[in-house]
Structure 1
């Protein structure tokens, strides 16, 4: 029992001890924390087991990679209105496709490479990017959409690459792609390399962008475009990659691939968005222009900001970013800061493909301000149409069936046929297509026969020809000249290596030797680059090189479209290709519609001759002066308010459709504009300079009257020829004469002799004539009328040039005078105002989106004209005589119109082989002028043609035009004779 008691007692003692140890253990914080952590760890393992094993598939399907991103929202651009509130430029909602760099392309490349195994083909990120872009392009094209093609390169129908820009634009492009900043800061080998890149051929640039071949160190494979793509597709891919490349310093900003895409494209891309990493579709506002051709020269257009524009804009304190849309030309550019909307932004979450999952926060954008122009839209449109109709009429009046232009500079009908080809109205590259029409195939066979004959003859002439250059036929001279330029452009004939003092070279320029002799001499003197020749041996002599040069020339000519045009020119001239077949091509290629045009059958069956057919099409403006690009094919009209300097109309013909350049350039259209021989993108009112001719005589009158050289009683007897200088200067009336005239009378009949004498007198002191002295005085008064600076209009304008040669001829507006119509218009405006020199303006006011006026432009820059009122009176007396005087050469145009117009005609000759320029400055009504008008028609033959254009517009402005005249659309032939020759 005692033993049992002791055992129980010991057991109780042990329990007490154990309980104490447990209590002590449980009271230890570290132990407690450890247990808690162990429990949490077990729970975490359990939760991970549930998430990854039990629910793994479900969560994988619902997984989205999320990252926060800020997207900028562009504010709507302000509208542009005419002076009456008619909308000229506005915005329209549309959808665009954008592309930005994403890590997803590199992930896809890695996955594909891994899937190919160790010995499989490596897939690069470039491969994936190019594939995505290619698929995107094909989807867009399948649904009738096109990409915004900005690469200044294309390939012609014969597979030859060529640049679509030149000059500074081409140099800028090459500097951008090759990473050349400032070549002037380079020296030695670095400078030589840079110069080499700047002289790269289209083929070299193409290969560099495609594969990095022969590029600067560190550029790698550039876009790494596989050679399995066609040249056309490679260029399209290259264009998109080029846009991304130019945006490389702003990687988070997407570039626009296509604008205004169709619903079909939206659906096709959206339904397969996983196949297009980095691609997004977004709602955007597109710039639209009403009645585009009438206003594009003034309005300009918008486009994605370039790198140089970005620097310029942000240099003024703005915050533009790559891919922003800005004004590129015209009012759109000048008023950029006013029209540009204020950006908003959106904070979003995006997935691994760049798609928006959730919008976190939005700051709204606000619209830009509106611009109201001084232009009257209805007046502008009417003036444009009258100008086009009159140009067509002048062309028809000089059309002839003769083969040559003759002394009257007429227009041979064969020149008209060829003009359709030369100006690409007829596309000769389409003649060889599989679906070519029968007539197209016939024409192509005629061409092939001509090409074969010409190339064979050229080969023989190059091998053994003995006819020196000046004795060649006109046709062969054209071929030789073309080959010479081609060899220079291709880098075969190295112009920089030619010794310009070399006797053989001088003989070549003087046309004293054969082309064969010159080329052989060029080889012997290492002026020929043989790197492109197929010479297999390392050892070769001059004969081998010359043989390869001949092969190169003949082969190269086969792919030269411009050379083909020369062939077509002589096919038409020589009668190998008939005018009828050329005219039928207009129907074959859709320029004219054979189903709607009754003249087709008449032409096809021979009931209507090709001459009569073409005459009718020009008369109906179905074929325009711009399309033919023959003289005359251009002109301008500027109408102003003489009290304010407001421009009521500024017409430039021909024009272009700025809708096709805004919102992403239509590359084919842009290329056609750049090659159009009528230069439609040139604003004739502000960027085309001519000598003013006799329209300058009021300034010469101001000079002689203000300088005291002459007064109202000063009479000069015109004998027809001014022989105080050598060679003698003739009056336009010679061999007749005007007789005795004072300044007003001399203006009225535009007597050159009178103003020759005045120019002579201005430069004469103490009986000694000094031309420079006379020029200085003429310049003083030309400057008073604003000819020493631009006119003030708010768009791009060329600088004026006051004559610095021959005071006597400068006094009649010849010499080296060179002014734009806008500058001549400012002079007329100030002459009529007779108090102030007023800067012209196209802008009336700006308003906010609610219509409240922000800025009014009513106040113009003015300078007091320090000229006596008596001087203006004498000049205006002469100007009313120009239009209404008894000896007026244009009186028949105005005498029965019920309008009292004063003006000054002007005819300027700048090229003896082409018609004279036609000018007419005027204002009306004479007693209380409401408007001034300046009409300039380059190569318009005679000033009467310009005066008649002005007459038609005055009739409309003053309500004298009939309803029939307002609605008419056909050509207007000149009234009466060729009129004034002053």
Structure 2
């Protein structure tokens, strides 16, 4: 009977199902009862984590593959906030910071409340703003609009549009303008806006809350015990601020500190059970093995901080808030190429943070490798010789190598302020940059994980008010544009040849040329009343004969008293200047805030400049009391209208009588109208139109010219290579690490400059060769085995070096101005009270100067400044080598270097290095032979 039941399919199914259920029940019983406790503990002690893996940043190498920027492994402390018990977060934060501080490891500190030395709670935003105001003499200027006006006036910025004005201000080396110009927040200090944004992020409604009240409320919100000291409470807030700033990314780790010491790593690992959510990972950080070498080419890194960076990198490109990005130079320009692609790892770890199992892994892809056109060895030698020669110039010492000896005392004397300089070396046949140096420099390693405040301050100039003070962060090669001096004369000579002048045409140097009430003298005449006699073009270039180029530019032979047999005009000179790219950016890939394009003098711009200068003068001098109340209501609006009307007369340059009559009709008091008429007519209106004197200055590289070292190097290259204009480039190729693909950056020929006869360039080159063979710098090249061609230049720099503190300078010399401190301070109070609506009267230095001049009417500005040292002239030395087969072009600029010839030993040593004359082994000797055959 029993067996018959099994013949029934239905019964068989029931039996099988019963057996399966029984097995499941037995298995469940085993899991839940027998081994339940074990599995429960194991489950509780396992954590699933998604760990991002940062991609190593792409390397930067020179043309031969030698490393300039790479990566090294480092320890990074991070916190996974979703893994930290809210009841333990404060203690974990405090313990972690204590470990880091004990071992002198830096950590990210963005919490903006500190205690000052006097024991006051204050916002760091207020400290930064106060420091900025003190640096730029704006203490007491509460309104951002007033500060902006003062800066515009101080630096001669005439444009009214705030965006354009800010761009002009930012061109000034190391000047920061923390003033918002956006419509919604215009004229607010950015530090004030940052402070308000921070308070709003914590839910504060009262944006005027004191620092101590804000601190205590946040302390309470974070449930930090009342008995915690300020220091301990703040340490907790620092970490919690960092966690807050990471936004909504709950499962991404927050970086607390990078590149920490092995001691901190060991102590964190020892206390890992008490530091839940904290982990130490190995990450690569940027490393610059050559330190300061080529820093201005390579650039620097920094944290994502500015709003435009947040918008681009975090919101658009999905960077993490703690990521480091390129801020300047090639690091910034090629950020997306160098960044690479981050990977990730999904893992299981136990309660102690130990890896149990890797579930999934995607390896990061390193950034691409950037190969440059520069040569490390040439770059090193360029930077070395620039620094060595500058130090010799500063002390009036001697610089000597096996290729020559240079004495820097001579007749020029010691140039103690020759503390900075720039050099650019390019390949004349490709436009490639072979070396680019700006001194002083900086170590980009300081920026690898975010620069400290102390390190940042060490890179600031000692005297912010001195625009020529050494600035380590300034790339002088690209951003310093000044007059070229006599290095410009070759272009004037070429324009003359192109117009048909024979290179053998000789002009008699008579020492000076009288134009109106001004004498334009040759430098030899100005020094010792000697002349150079008859000279042709090559001789004039060799001896830098101003008289010859004055005559050539004006198309008049002043020595013979007759016109030259060619047509010359300012328009012709400007045209040739522009052909050689001196009005354009070179296109180099280095990314700085802006590569200056330099400036070719313009007939139209001169009128605009003179009008701006007159506007400045009238705004400084014309007061409400100068207006006749019987004709016009004395108020600021009417005064501004009158000033603008007077300025507009520059276009027509009316007679003196007409000017005075119009001023009186406008409402200027008669006695004041007479004074302002003379100034406006003779100092400004008469100077507004282009004149013979302007052409004189143009011809010798003075006046309104302004070019950068890289532009001048490009100019030299075009003189050397028969007029071929190449795009200047520092990048050779980019190699992908992922697939090995190579993106070449080929030579880019822009054009061949249009000339009537390219053989005219031979005459220019011949004159430049004479400079080094028989001219003023021949002694630097007597023992040099390579013929070179070059030109010295001295660019005028007028004015006085401003003291660090103008007010203290004035106080020191008050007795010499015939006034007392008590008198000055009393008059300053009167002036400030009377002119409280004027921006310039918020500048203590300006008000003190005005008070001194009012108390002693005989004192003028030049009398007040007489005790300040004078600026020295700029030194230029430019050229190419070898003379008979040009390969490289070089430009050298030394602010306050004094004599143009002082750049000669720098030029010589760079050529020696490039040509392999310092070679010590067979491989280098082979390089010499190759270059000589090139």
Q: CA deviation at 1:891?
A: 0.9
2:53 to 73, 87, 111: 73
1:937 to 894, 905, 908: 894
Structure 2 residue 71 is matched with structure 1 residue 87: no
Q: Deviations over 1:671-725 (max 9, x none)?
A: 31135552111122222222211111112223333345x4424433322222224
* Shift in alpha-carbon separation, 1:102–1:308, aligned structure 2, 3 A: same
- Match of 2:425? 639
Q: Secondary structure at the match of 2:260?
A: coil
- Match of 1:739? 533
Q: Secondary structure at the match of 1:674?
A: coil
Q: Deviations over 1:82-131 (max 9, x none)?
A: 112211121112211123544735344xxxxxxxxxxxxxxxxxxx55x5
Distance, in Å, in 2 between the alignment partners of 1:840 and 1:150 is 41
CA contact (8 A) 1:149 1:667 kept: no
Q: Deviations over 1:375-415 (max 9, x none)?
A: 1111111121111111111111189xxxxx9x97757xxxx
Distance, in Å, in 2 between the alignment partners of 1:234 and 1:829 is 63
- Match of 2:188? 195
Structure 2 residue 676 is matched with structure 1 residue 789: no
- Match of 1:664? 450
CA contact (8 A) 1:884 1:894 kept: yes
CA contact (8 A) 1:656 1:680 kept: yes
Aligned residues: 655
2:794 to 897, 904, 907: 907
- Match of 2:706? 818
Q: Deviations over 1:362-386 (max 9, x none)?
A: 1122222211111111111112111
2:106 to 129, 138, 146: 146
* Shift in alpha-carbon separation, 1:315–1:141, aligned structure 2, 3 A: closer
Distance, in Å, in 2 between the alignment partners of 1:134 and 1:861 is 61
- Match of 1:359? 358
1:688 to 476, 480, 494: 480
Q: CA deviation at 1:890?
A: 0.7
Q: Deviations over 1:390-447 (max 9, x none)?
A: 1111111189xxxxx9x97757xxxxxxxxxxxxxxxxxxxxxxxxxxxxxxxxxxxx
Structure 2 residue 507 is matched with structure 1 residue 721: no
- Match of 2:140? none
| TM-score (normalizing by structure 2) | 0.62
Distance, in Å, in 2 between the alignment partners of 1:153 and 1:697 is 59
1:917 to 874, 896, 915: 874
Distance, in Å, in 1 between the alignment partners of 2:781 and 2:876 is 16
Q: Deviations over 1:859-880 (max 9, x none)?
A: 2242121122132122112111
2:128 to 151, 163, 171: 163
- Match of 1:573? none
CA contact (8 A) 1:900 1:926 kept: yes
Q: Secondary structure at the match of 2:52?
A: strand
Q: Deviations over 1:48-89 (max 9, x none)?
A: 9969xx977x77765537775543322222222111221112
Distance, in Å, in 2 between the alignment partners of 1:763 and 1:67 is 91
* Shift in alpha-carbon separation, 1:166–1:754, aligned structure 2, 3 A: farther
- Match of 1:865? 753
Q: Deviations over 1:845-890 (max 9, x none)?
A: 22233894512223224212112213212211211121113xx111
Structure 2 residue 323 is matched with structure 1 residue 324: yes
2:601 to 803, 810, 815: 803
CA contact (8 A) 1:693 1:812 kept: yes
* Shift in alpha-carbon separation, 1:687–1:257, aligned structure 2, 3 A: farther
Distance, in Å, in 1 between the alignment partners of 2:230 and 2:777 is 59
CA contact (8 A) 2:304 2:310 kept: no
- Match of 2:285? 286
1:895 to 782, 793, 796: 782
Q: Deviations over 1:778-823 (max 9, x none)?
A: 3322221111221222113333222334332122111122222111
CA contact (8 A) 1:104 1:352 kept: no
What are the residue-to-residue correspondences of 1:73-472 with 2, within 5 Å? Answer: 73-102=53-82, 104=84, 106-108=86-88, 128-129=89-90, 132-148=92-108, 162-163=127-128, 184-186=182-184, 195=188, 198-199=191-192, 215=207, 221=214, 224=218, 243-248=242-247, 250-306=249-305, 308=307, 310=309, 313=312, 318-349=317-348, 358-397=357-396, 410=414
Distance, in Å, in 2 between the alignment partners of 1:355 and 1:63 is 14
1:757 to 538, 541, 551: 551
* Shift in alpha-carbon separation, 1:196–1:871, aligned structure 2, 3 A: closer
Distance, in Å, in 1 between the alignment partners of 2:440 and 2:112 is 24
* Shift in alpha-carbon separation, 1:880–1:768, aligned structure 2, 3 A: closer
* Shift in alpha-carbon separation, 1:154–1:846, aligned structure 2, 3 A: farther
Distance, in Å, in 2 between the alignment partners of 1:304 and 1:835 is 44
- Match of 1:855? 743
Distance, in Å, in 1 between the alignment partners of 2:63 and 2:190 is 50
Distance, in Å, in 1 between the alignment partners of 2:231 and 2:535 is 69
What are the residue-to-residue correspondences of 1:46-65 with 2, within 5 Å? Answer: 62=42, 64=44
Q: Secondary structure at the match of 1:723?
A: strand
Distance, in Å, in 1 between the alignment partners of 2:535 and 2:363 is 72
Segments of 5+ residues of structure 2 without an aligned counterpart are: 1-21, 137-143, 145-177, 399-408, 463-468, 607-693, 800-869, 922-934
Question: Larger radius of gyration, structure 1 or 2?
Answer: 1
- Match of 1:701? 493
CA contact (8 A) 1:904 1:921 kept: yes
- Match of 1:591? none
More displaced stretch, 829-838 vs 732-741: 732-741
CA contact (8 A) 1:790 1:799 kept: yes
Distance, in Å, in 1 between the alignment partners of 2:231 and 2:879 is 53
| TM-score (normalizing by structure 1) | 0.59
Higher relative contact order (CA 8 A, sep 6+): 2
Distance, in Å, in 2 between the alignment partners of 1:153 and 1:395 is 44
Q: CA deviation at 1:43?
A: 12
Q: Secondary structure at the match of 1:918?
A: strand
CA contact (8 A) 1:348 1:356 kept: yes
Q: Deviations over 1:469-511 (max 9, x none)?
A: xxxxxxxxxxxxxxxxxxxxxxxxxxxxxxxxxxxxxxxxxxx
More displaced stretch, 75-84 vs 954-963: 954-963
Distance, in Å, in 1 between the alignment partners of 2:311 and 2:202 is 31
* Shift in alpha-carbon separation, 1:278–1:133, aligned structure 2, 3 A: same
* Shift in alpha-carbon separation, 1:84–1:318, aligned structure 2, 3 A: same
- Match of 1:673? 459
What are the residue-to-residue correspondences of 1:488-499 with 2, within 5 Å? Answer: none
Distance, in Å, in 2 between the alignment partners of 1:671 and 1:711 is 57
CA contact (8 A) 2:314 2:320 kept: no
2:434 to 640, 644, 648: 648
* Shift in alpha-carbon separation, 1:670–1:367, aligned structure 2, 3 A: same
Q: CA deviation at 1:333?
A: 1.8
Q: Secondary structure at the match of 1:753?
A: helix
Distance, in Å, in 1 between the alignment partners of 2:563 and 2:769 is 35
